[in-house]
Every structure is written in structure tokens, then in C-alpha cells.
């Protein structure tokens, strides 16, 4: 058991059988009344963020989570199949449990959050940025780079992202997997 004094970002806690990650927290000591802790909690399974206020010193159940590297192998009707990088154990994870799944390509390494006691996989995260090749986009017009206008582009995984007008087919771009936004062009 832990208390509110043990809170830290990324900590996983159990509230009524539902697992939450602590996104941020703030200890508040008002001039009048008892101290309390204001938190933002992210639901592990749904990804929804909620606000919760705790009285200072309240006991909570901490869940031990391990981060393990897995390499993406292939997708089938059971889900996305991964292999542990060290033990070569293979697992299948449904697409809903993977954040940024539309940017996942064969051979990519992801981090799986595994409940240490039950060995169940809670969620899976791609790296913050991935590099993908543009497979289709409308050609840009010369001299049309003065504005911040974006156009749709399809990348090698089939996902569609918004890119600046100067990006052409065959170029490699960096994408933020958290929100699907264009980060930059990769020059070789």
C-alpha cells in the first residue's frame, strides 16, 4: 500500500479494480483546512483522462508495472503479434490496446506495460516519433511554400497524415505517434 505522499508521474494505481496512470499531481496546502492532492489520472484500458482529488495521507493500492520491449511481427485476425526482444516469446495484442497503431510497421519495437503479478499486458506504446515513407500525396506546386497550408498524405503503413505542401511521394517524414502530426522531413 502507498499513500498520497508516494505519488509520482507514471505511477500505476488501482481504483475499484480499474488501473490508472498518474499523469500529473499537485500537493495543495490551503491556508485554512486540511492538505489535499489534486491528480490527473489516465485510464490504462480506455485512455480517458479524469481529475481526482484525494485527502492527504489516504492509502491507495499501487500496481507494479514493468516495461518490456517487443518487436512487431505481423497482423492477423487475432490482433497484432509481437515477439519479446530477449526471450523470443510471442504474444498477440488487440489493436485497441496499442496507442498509435496506425503508424506501426513490421520490425518496429514497442514498449508493452505488463502487470508484474499476473503477467497480463495492459497497454502498448510506440516510440514518440517514427520515420515513415510517403506513398501517395498530391504533387506540390513550385513556390507554394510561403504559407502554412497542409495537404493529406498517405504513408507506408496506410495511415493518412497532414503534411506541408513541399512534401512529395517517396520522401521520408517524421511523425509524432501521440497525435499523428507531421514533425519534419528526413534528409538522407
The torsion defined by the Cα of 25, 31, 32 and 33, in degrees rounded to 10, comes to 30
Q: pTM above 0.85?
A: no
pLDDT at 95: 81
Q: For residue 150, what is its C-alpha cell?
A: 497542409
pLDDT at 153: 92
Matching CATH topology for 2-63 and 129-186?
A: no
As its CATH architecture, domain 2-63 has Roll (2.30)
Whose CA is closest to 47, among 179, 150, 146, 147? 179
| pLDDT tens over the chain, length 188 residues | 889 889 999 899 999 989 899 999 999 999 888 999 999 999 887 778 999 999 988 999 999 988 889 999 998 888 889 998 888 888 888 887 787 888 988 888 998 888 888 888 888 888 889 999 999 988 866 666 666 788 899 999 889 999 988 888 899 999 998 888 999 888 87
pLDDT at 26: 94
Just give the CATH number of 65-125: 2.40.50.140
Domain 129-186 has CATH 2.40.50.140: yes
Contact 150, 163 (CB under 8 A): yes
Would you list the domain boundaries of the chain? 2-63, 65-125, 129-186
pLDDT at 145: 61
pLDDT at 144: 61
Report the 10 Å Cβ neighbour count for 37: 20
pLDDT at 10: 86
State whether residue 9 is helix, strand or coil: coil
The torsion defined by the Cα of 52, 58, 59 and 63, in degrees rounded to 10, comes to 20
DSSP code at position 44: T
Amino acid at each position: 500500500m502507498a499513500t498520497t505522499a508516494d505519488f509520482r508521474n507514471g505511477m500505476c494505481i488501482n481504483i475499484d479494480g480499474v488501473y490508472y496512470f498518474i499523469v500529473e499531481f499537485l500537493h495543495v496546502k490551503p491556508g485554512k483546512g486540511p492538505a489535499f492532492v489534486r491528480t490527473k489520472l489516465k485510464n490504462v484500458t480506455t485512455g480517458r483522462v479524469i481529475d481526482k482529488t484525494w485527502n492527504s495521507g489516504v492509502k491507495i493500492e499501487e500496481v507494479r508495472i514493468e516495461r518490456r520491449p517487443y518487436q512487431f511481427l505481423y497482423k492477423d485476425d487475432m490482433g497484432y503479434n509481437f515477439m519479446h526482444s530477449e526471450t523470443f516469446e510471442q504474444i498477440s495484442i488487440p489493436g485497441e490496446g496499442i496507442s498509435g497503431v496506425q503508424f506501426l510497421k513490421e520490425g518496429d519495437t514497442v514498449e508493452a506495460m505488463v502487470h508484474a503479478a499476473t503477467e497480463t499486458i495492459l497497454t502498448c506504446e510506440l516510440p514518440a516519433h517514427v520515420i515513415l515513407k510517403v506513398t501517395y500525396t498530391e504533387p506540390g506546386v513550385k513556390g507554394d511554400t510561403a504559407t502554412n497550408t497542409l495537404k493529406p498524405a498517405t504513408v507506408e503503413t496506410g495511415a493518412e497524415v497532414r503534411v506541408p505542401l513541399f512534401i512529395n511521394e517517396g520522401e521520408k517524414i517524421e511523425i509524432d505517434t501521440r497525435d499523428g502530426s507531421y514533425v519534419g522531413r528526413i534528409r538522407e
